[in-house]
Amino acid sequence: MKGVVLGQYYPGDSLIHSLDPRVKIVSTFVFIISLFVVDNVPGYAVTALFLVSAVALSKVPVARLIKGLSGILVLMVFTAVFNLFLTPGEVVFSFYSLQITREGIIVTVKMLVRLVFLIMGSSLMTYTTTPSALADALESLMKPLKVVKVPVHEISMMISIALRFIPILAEEADIIIKAQKARCADFDTGSVIKRAKAMIPVLVPLFVSAFRRANDLAVAMEARCYRGGDNRTRMRPLTYCARDYRAYAVDAALLLGCILTRVIL
Amino acid sequence: MLELENVSFTYDNGAGVGTRALEGVSFSVEPGEFIGLIGHTGSGKSTLLQLLIGLLKPTEGRILFEGEDIGQKGYDLKKLRSRVGMVFQYPEHQLFEETVFKDVCYGPQNIGLSQKECELRAYEALRSVGLPDECFYVSPFELSGGQKRRVAIAGILAMKPDILVLDEPTAGLDPAGKNEILDLTDELKRDRNISIILVSHCMEDVAEYADRILVMDHGRLKYDESPVVVFSHVEELEKMGLSAPAVTYIMRKLKDRGVDVRNNIITIPEAGAEIMAAFKRRHP
């Protein structure tokens, strides 16, 4: 259980790291929208330029970003296969009843580029922003929803607590596994069903402990007079500074550029 | 019975540079010995315990149980873990079964004993930890803290270990619960000749029960001596963030004030006798 990485944060002090988390969330969204706006080579070049410069500024090793793609490898293969063989058009290659069309190749390349850019863009955000900063930013960005009675603060609090507890529970699971191993438990041999059953002595204590901790935390929060929501101030309030506004300007330029490539070219 | 030969351990943090947790530790455990293991937090005690039952593998050196290297390929770790019983900190957090009795059966079942033998051992173990019969078939989660801990210890005893290792078994218990656990370990040692390794932050407990004390400091074994010898190094112990039992300090102070007492006294009954003797010498 050791080495459970969450939010896969890559510590650093680059320009991207120091941006306001809200800017990073908005930028990621703008980037994703741009990806679906563009439809030609200059358009993709614009989004590529944005991604490459963001990665360069963040100083996150490219190898790490590429490694993150392995998670969607299956999805990529499926997308590629379906688009390649099932797009009607001018046949360039046929193989028994399977046909590859010119249009199919173009669509496939476009889809793959979009997918890769999308994943790299969003993982760049999680690499450069701590999970708790993301939760704070989400709260701040969702504030307008309060008008329609969405419990924004509570949702954000739950996300932060959940994120905070994952490493604690991972450590606890490690301790329980060791304790059951000391009682001669065997987690590594036998059929799948046997192994799944062997996890019960770990899962039950883990659940019990999660409830115990939740209860303790609730009491501790009450004891410090916690009450969510209105008029709550923060130790480190999120504030925009000049570089954040510049980043928004870059976002706007990206979106505008992408729309222009679509309209003009 | 259990021997450590020059054991070192480094935690691998993936980046090539690890954290050295143990450095050249050697000692052996003989049958029926009561060993106290003390050391400040982070001195390598927990690492050492995990090495003893093969949860971690030594980076250097070897660990022998009855002459066999437990790190060698194909060594039966299950068997080792049934013979070297390990009670981790807060062992009650590992309880999971519907009833106390079933939970204690878990260990014996894992070694592959017959159902009858498992139940026999569970019953015996629960009796030996002094749990009242009416608690056998209730959920372990309904018991008090001290009872839960005794059930967890019974879960290890049911495997009939030759060595019992307890990592701070009295942490978080009230004084009565604490004494029960310590007396239980002493009884196991006397009646069944089980070797005990007791990890504790309470110097008084270790002084009272242990035949031998191991002192860990920054991953090294600093002392491996009898309690009287170990607690004569008060200054060195204090430098390591440890101390001598409170009564040792009192006797030292008395001696400094010119009272004719020995200053190598580590338990309260001993101190009482020594003070009485000194008093009688003064007022015949």
The predicted model gives B260-283 an average pLDDT of 89
Is residue A203 predicted with pLDDT exceeding 90?
Answer: yes
Nearest CA in chain A to B14: A3
pLDDT value of position A3 = 41
**What pLDDT is attached to residue A237?**
83
Closest in B50, B107, B141 to A183, CB measured: B107
Q: What pLDDT is recorded for position A4?
A: 42
Find the helix packing angle between A21-37 and A41-58, rounded to 10°. 160
| Of residues A3, A185, A205, nearest to B95 (C-beta) | A205
pLDDT digits (tens, 9 = 90+) for B3-44: 999 999 998 765 556 788 999 999 999 999 999 999 998 899
Does some domain include residue B9? no
Is B45's pLDDT higher than 70? yes
Residue B278: inside a domain: yes
Residues of B in contact with A186 (CB under 8 A): 78, 110
Nearest residue on chain B to A177, alpha-carbon basis: B94
The closest of A54, A14, A217, A17 to A134, measured between CA atoms, is: A17
Residue A97 has pLDDT above 80, yes or no: no
Is position B23 within any domain?
A: no
The confidence band for A10, taking pLDDT boundaries of 50, 70 and 90, is confident
The tally of CA atoms less than 13 A away on the side-chain side of residue A38 is: 25
In a domain? residue B269: yes
Neighbours of B208 (CB within 10 A): 18
Looking at the domain assignment, is residue B63 inside a domain?
no
Helices B115-128 and B145-157, packing angle to 10 deg: 130
Digit-coded pLDDT (tens) for B59-99 = 999 999 999 999 888 889 999 999 999 999 999 889 999 99
Q: Does A5 touch chain B (CB under 8 A)?
A: no
Label the pairing between strands B34-39 and B84-87. Answer: unpaired
Query: Which of A176, A178, A200 lies closest to B50 in CB terms?
Result: A178
Contacts of B111 in chain A (CB under 8 A): 184
Sequence spans of domains, chain A: 15-129+238-264, 144-223
Asked if residue B149 lies in contact with residue B135, where contact means CB atoms within 8 angstroms, the answer is no
Query: What's residue B15's pLDDT?
Result: 56
Write the pLDDT tens digit of every residue in A39-92. Answer: 888 899 999 999 999 999 998 888 888 877 887 888 889 988 888 888 888 888
Q: Does A185 touch chain B (CB under 8 A)?
A: yes
Categorize the per-residue pLDDT at A1 as very low, low, confident or very high, splitting at 50, 70 and 90: very low
pLDDT on residue A25: 94
**What's the CA gap between B134 and B123, in Å, rounded?**
12
Interface of B with A (CB under 8 A): 14, 50, 53, 55, 78, 81-82, 85-88, 91, 93-96, 106-107, 110-111, 141, 155-156, 159
Please state the rounded mean pLDDT for residues B157-162.
94
| Per-residue pLDDT reduced to its tens digit, A143-193 | 888 889 888 888 888 888 888 888 889 889 999 999 999 999 988 888 888
What is the C-alpha separation between A175 and A181, in angstroms, rounded? 10
Range of the domain at B277: 245-284
Q: Which residue has the higher pLDDT, A5 or B54?
A: B54
Interface test with B, best of A2, A10, A174, A183 (most B CBs within 10 A): A183
Residue B265 lies in a domain: yes
Overall size of chain A counted in residues: 265
C-alpha distances (whole Å) from A49 to each of A35, A46, A125, A153, A252 are: 12, 5, 17, 36, 14
Note whether B167 and B88 are within 8 A (CB).
yes
The average confidence (pLDDT) of chain B is 91
Residue of B12, B51, B93 to mutate, testing the A interface (most A Cβ within 10 Å of its Cβ)? B93
Q: Could you tell me if residue B178 is inside a domain?
A: no
d(CA B107, CA B97): 12
Alpha helices by DSSP H, chain A: 15-18, 21-37, 41-58, 62-68, 73-86, 102-128, 131-142, 152-182, 192-198, 200-223, 242-264
Domains of chain B: total = 1
- What are the chain A neighbours of B106 within 8 Å (beta carbons)? 183, 185, 201
Q: Please tell me the distance in Å from B166's CA to the nearest CA on chain A.
A: 12
Question: Where is pLDDT greater, at A167 or A18?
Answer: A18
**Neighbouring residues of A119: CB distance < 8 A, sequence distance ≥ 6:** A68, A69, A71, A72
Residue B249 within a domain: yes
| Spatial CA neighbour of A187 closest among A200, A169, A175, A171 | A200
- Which DSSP helix (H) or strand (E) runs through B183? helix B175-192
Q: What is the pLDDT of residues A98-157, one digit of tens each?
A: 888 888 888 899 989 999 999 899 889 988 998 888 888 988 898 888 889 888 888 888
Number of H helices, E strands in chain B: 11, 10
Determine the Cα–Cα distance for residues A79 and A118; give it in Å rounded to an integer: 14
What does the buried/exposed string (b/e) look like for B184-193 if buried means 16 or more CB atoms within 10 Å of the residue's CB?
Answer: bbeebbeeee
Rounded-to-integer distance, Cα A35 and Cα B52, Å: 57
The number of residues making up chain B comes to 284
